[in-house]
Structure formats: C-alpha cells, structure tokens
Amino acid sequence: DDDSMFGKASALIVAVGTVADDAPPQKGTSFQTWLFGYELPDTLMVITATNVVFVTSQKKGTILETAKLPGDAIPFEVLKRTKDENHNADLFAKAVQAIAGSNDGKTIGVVAKDRFDGKFITEWKSAIEKSGKKFDEVDISGGIATLMAVKDEDELRSVRLAGKLCSIYMKDYFVPEMSDILDEDRKVKHSKLSRDMEDALLDGKSKKIKYPQEITPDLADWAYPPIVQSGGKYDLRFSAESNNETLEEGAIICLLGIRYKSYYANIGRTYLINPDKDQEKNYRFLLELQKYVISNLKDGITCKEAYGKAVAYIESKRPDLKDVFLKNCGFGIGVEFRDMHYTLSPKSNKVLKAGMTINVVIGFQGIQDETNKKKKSYSLILSDTVKINGGNEAPQIFTDVSKDPNEAFMYLVSSWKDAQVGSLDV
C-alpha cells in the first residue's frame, strides 16, 4: 500500500533468468521462493496497478496457474512461451504494454543488483528496446526486503527448525568431535572437520545425529560449508573457508548455517581451550554484550539504533575492545541467508518489527595476545538466530546451544607439563 516502498514506480518488474553456480544469491529468486515456494528461472513477473502478468514456460506456467498469490483478489495472467520465437516476442510485447498502461507508465521498479543472463533475459531486454518506450528505473530491492521481513507462522516454523538443525550439528557433532580430537591429540585439519560435518547432513547417515520427528533431513542443506578456525588465523566473515591447518587449542570458532524448507538459520560459537585470564574476561564480556544486544531487539527499534546501543555499551564497559568490534551486529535472515537491507549497522534506518528473524552476530576480530608470541592475536564470536516479538516480550532464540563459560571453557590435562596422559575436562 505504501508506494514509497517502491520508489513510486508505475509497475514492478522481477525478471529472473539464469545465473552461474558460483553467483551470489539474487533477490528476484528469493522473492519467487517467498511467493510460491519455488525458484522459477526464465520467468518474468510484471506487477501493475491492476494485475500481475507472468511470461514463462509451459510447465512453470501450469505451476503458477495453480498457485495462490498472497491476497487472492489480485487478478493475474500467465503467458506461456513455446518454441515459436514470434509467439514469444508477442508475449514480451504484451508485458511491455501492461507496464505502459499502469499508472503513468513512466517508471519501472527493478531489482538493481540482480545479475541474470541467458537467452530469456536477452529477449526481454530486446522487447523493451523494440517497443520504443523509455522507462525510468528505480530500485525496489528495499521494498521487497520489507515485504519478506515479517514472517508468518509457517515461515517461522521453518526458521525455527533450521535453527534446531544448527543446534544439533553444533552440540551433537562439532563439540564432541572437537573434544575427541583434542583429547586424543589427533592432527585433524579444519577443512577435514568442516567436510565431515558437511557430508553428515548431505548423506544423512551420520550415527552422531538423531533427528527429531518434526524434521525431514532431505529438506535441509547447508547455507555455506561449515567454518572451523583455530590457531591464530581467523576470518569472521561467512564467506570464509576452513583452512588446511590442524585444529589446536586456544580460541576455536565454529560457524554453521542451515537452510530448511527454503528458510535459513545460523549459529556461531567460540570455545576456549586452556584460556588465560584475559581470554576468559573477554569471552565473558562478549556473552554479556550479546545478551544486551538481543534484549534491545524490540518492535520499533531501527537497525542503526540497535548497533549504536552496542557500541555505546562497549564504550562504557570495555573501550579497549571498541577497535576490534565487528562493523555490524548481524542481519535479517529468512528466505535469504543475509538480507543486507536489515543489517544491524550504522547505515541502516530499517525498522525492526515483530515477526522478523535476525541472525545476531557479535564478534571481536584480532584481539592482541601479548602472552602468546606464536599466535599474537585471537578472535571471538557468538551468533544466534532470534525472532523479534511484540511489545516488551523478549526475543525468542531459535539456536539453543549453551554459551555459558562452564561449557565454553575447556581445560586439557595434556597441556600440563607434568602430565603423561592427555584427557579433557569439560
């Protein structure tokens, strides 16, 4: 209803073609998934003031004809392509006419950063050029983000179950495996541990994992390969890779993101093996800060305000950590792993609402360690997927793995010089 969400566009265009396998996620594809539960490549959607027009293949057209759009009062027309190029050109011409006849027909809303290619997109661009019509363009990415941000009960269930899977793999796979590796003094590469976790979900045969009845493992996939880091080299971005160095004591970080029924959740934990007093102190503050940030995520607060409160808290309690604090406190998560429009950072004025889900990420990158000449620095991170509630109700955390120091601090007997046999006390 609020045309300012879409830059006062006369019509909205979501044109989805093909992308390379290694291309970043495209918002147009996410919008399709949100609307229909499917990704529909080589499909054009034109939303006008009075109706919705689709141009797509015969098979996908049949799927769309049986779909129920949000707000069933919206009339929509499905134009099905064939192998006849003249017929297909006529369909695109009809779509252009629908745009020109919507409101003043001068401004189209597009997803500016989407980068699709292929024959379908080429033909669509050609149809606009051949029409001789000139349209101004405005970016509607932020408006689509707002539409998708507040989740209904089915969506929240999928995010919750994705969060439960993240928790299961952290608690029942990573932590016991990490403990055994250290306890037995085995040399296991970060990349090997990551790959084994990845395979456990993909083949569904791991004896370590017991799935609750409400979860169908076949509907789950990784958001990114599990990230495992230790030994003084840390990259707290979700695009980071687990390197080929071996797991070792100190600060051990694990980040896991899982997609379930098209919806994402994420978890991140830091475990400190034989921590010194400064490491323990900094972790306890990290946990304190994360609890504070989550407590502020209430209906009506802006992303910018949430981040500002975090920075002010650091300045008042631990100003020595301000320079190593991450540049944001997380982001919106759901049908997209990362909704950049809802990043908890100084740049976003987006307002958080009840029913939104946020991947809260609190981290310190590169804390100097004066006592360790070999590693020189370490990093700490905690990440949880939370749902914002209404009124003064506290946010609900969907990722349930203890962050208590009693669980996060571990002490290896084998590291004591007078010990002959290694074991792990947790």
Q: What is the pLDDT of residue 73?
A: 64
Give the predicted TM-score (pTM) of the model. 0.92
Measuring CA to CA, how many Å separate 103 from each of 7, 98, 142?
A: 13, 10, 21
What ranges make up the beta strands (E) of 64-121?
76-80, 107-110
DSSP designation for 154: H
CB 295 within 8 A of CB 288: no
Nearest CA to 155 out of 52, 56, 259 is that of 259
- pLDDT, mean over the chain: 92
The domains located in the chain, with CATH, are 3-147 (3.40.350.10), 150-425 (3.90.230.10)
- Helix then strand count (H, E) for the chain reads 11, 16
DSSP letter string, 184-204 = TT---BHHHHHHHHHHHHHH-
- The pLDDT, as a whole number, for residue 418 is 36
Which helix (H) or strand (E) segment holds residue 252: the answer is strand 250-260
Q: What is the mean pLDDT of residues 153-166?
A: 98
What are the residue ranges of helices labelled H in 169-298?
175-183, 190-203, 277-295
Give the β-pairing of 357-368 and 330-332: antiparallel
Q: What is the pLDDT of residue 366?
A: 96
Q: Is it the case that residue 375 has pLDDT exceeding 80? A: no
Strands 409-412 and 396-397: unpaired
Report residue 70 CA to chain centroid gap: 24
Q: What is the pLDDT of residues 186-244, one digit of tens each?
A: 999 999 999 999 999 988 767 779 999 999 999 999 999 999 999 999 999 999 999 99
Express each pLDDT in 34-47 by its tens digit: 999 889 999 999 99
